[in-house]
Structure 1
Amino acid sequence: MPLPEGISARQAMAIGTAGYTAMLAVMALEEHGLTPESGEIVITGASGGVGGVSIALLARLGYTVAAVTGRMSEADYLTDLGAGSVIDRAELSGKPRPLARERWAGGIDAAGSVVLANVLSMIRGGGVVAACGLAGGMDLPTSVAPFILRGVTLAGIESVRCPRPRRIEAWNRLARDLDMEKLEAMVTEIALDDVVGIAPKFLDGQVRGRIVVPVAPREA
């Protein structure tokens, strides 16, 4: 992909696939008619890469954001990115009801499974959820109730086979709409030699934001 004007190579690596996917999800919400006036947007997996970039993007675009995380110790980090409120993932980890109290106009979900099912049950009539991850599992224990009784839309976000014109649009939007200071707040930089050591932390859910690995040329 061509590097958009205003984004450095380092920033492009910090954005990465996660940030690009977040932009596709935001675009999907917009295309389904959501605006800042529609109401609060919920973001699951908020401490991760998709979640963090989604929060920063939506906040800058004027949306009110509720961030869902399994690590409430990250609450200050999430509010600094732009979240208006932080929700413990445990609130969305119980057995889903077909329909629950309407709370949000839309959402971006990186969790799947029970968390996504609970989010869907709480989306307001006519709302939309962009689903782009499965950190919590590939299953979806829900019913048709949110779709046929509230007109909720579940929009799938698939970044790998995304057509080139839409990819370019997403990257141009990132250059325009992502606060690069917020992006930098998500970044942890590590040496190439540290990659193997940090990998298990990803599996244990101990990594937040984005990891950037500068790769220096090998010495002769």
Structure 2
Amino acid sequence: NNIDIPIVLHLDHAKNIETIKKAIDYGFTSVMYDGSKLSLKENIINTKKVIEIAHKKNISVEGELGYLNNEDGTGKIILKYTNEIEAKKYVEDTKVDALAIAIGNAHGIYMTKPSLNFKQLEILNKIVTCPLVLHGSSGIQKNDLQKAIDLGIRKFNINTEVSNTGVKTIREYLLKYPENKKLNLRLETVLEEARKQMTEKIINYINIFNKK
């Protein structure tokens, strides 16, 4: 709350309303309620409850429609796109601040080249009034990300690629400095190197998203 730059502290993929309440009490300035595995009716009811709590404290709420696999990248990927009629009803009924959609994106590492349904994105952007969010953006080609911006995406989730960059850096660092060469290797030293590479990855994405 004491930072002057325009960022939010965001709680992602919360499925429990009590967890969201705690996050708000602890100072989160943005929350996501993920009711994507529920029926549309249940998702709307629960999202409205979250919005009632969050908007009283001027905290934005992101919702989700359309099935994605598990947030950690596990689970079967099913190409089930967000339906535009359901999306319109969900946004109008809940007054949600942003909507995460499914257009061929998936959490985790893509085993094959991702294929986004830009036609469906274009339809959703015309019919939905709030900003659209693309989860599972790690591994999507630069040109496709920028095309998604042109067609209405206003927030991207790229945790997998940033996380994998950190893990890769740590693995390489430990191979470079095995125990018999560096007995007193400090954890903070390894993490500092990982953070450096993760920062570079984030800067690279910022440059992609800041396309003119």
Compute the TM-score of the two structures, normalised by the length of structure 2: 0.30
More relative contact order, 1 or 2 (CA 8 Å, 6+ apart):
1
The structure with the largest alpha-carbon Rg is 2
